[in-house]
Amino acid sequence: MYPFLKQLHSGWAYLALLLLLFAVINAVIGLTSKKEFTAKDRKISLFALIGTHTQLLIGLILYFVSPLGKDSFGQMSNAALRLTSLEHPLINLIAIVLITIGWSKHKKLINSEAKHKTFAIYYGLGLILILSRIPWNLWF
């Protein structure tokens, strides 16, 4: 169970991050070029939402089976264990909450510029937070 989940979380991370990066770039281009918000833009943002939510779900299960997750919680003096047992899960959870808020907010907006702006801000902040707490040494 553990090796499979670890591999899945490791592999899905590429897809989730690529989808999120693509959605942020798309929103910034849409905003700066004053493009109309179309069904294509909605789909790009939805795929990023689904990709990150799936990663969250895998991460949550992994947290309880990995020796670097719950079992290492509280080891504050060890930076690597503090990262995987506290900082990475907590910051990623906050990032995905922001992404979800961005998605919900855009639905209430009518104006294309406001929709692009909402995605650029909320998805952009989410991406920055996620990138700030990746256990890079484990990943590569």
- Give the footprint of ligand HEM on this chain (CB under 6 A): 6, 9-10, 13, 16-17, 52, 55-56, 59-60, 62-63, 66, 68-69, 84, 88-89, 92-93, 130, 134-135, 138-139
Least Cβ distance, residue 106 to ligand HEM (angstroms): 19
- For residues 68-102, one letter each, b for 16 or more C-beta atoms within 10 angstroms of the residue's C-beta and e for the rest, the string is bbeebeeeeeeeebbbbbbebbebbeebbebbbeb
- In order, the DSSP letters of 60-129 are HHHHHH-TTTGGGTT-TT-HHHHIIIIIHHHHHHHHHHHHHHHHHHHHH---HHHHHHHHHHHHHHHHHH
Token pair recorded at residue 37: 């918000």
Q: Which CB sits closer to ligand HEM, 31 or 95?
A: 95
Q: Which CB sits closer to ligand HEM, 31 or 62?
A: 62
Least Cβ distance, residue 109 to ligand HEM (angstroms): 25
Q: Which CB sits closer to ligand HEM, 11 or 36?
A: 11
Q: Which CB sits closer to ligand HEM, 73 or 112?
A: 73
Of all residues in the shown chain, the one whose CB is closest to ligand HEM is 59
Least Cβ distance, residue 113 to ligand HEM (angstroms): 27
Least Cβ distance, residue 95 to ligand HEM (angstroms): 7
Q: Which has the closest alpha carbon to 99: 43, 28, 49?
A: 49
- Residue type for position 33: S
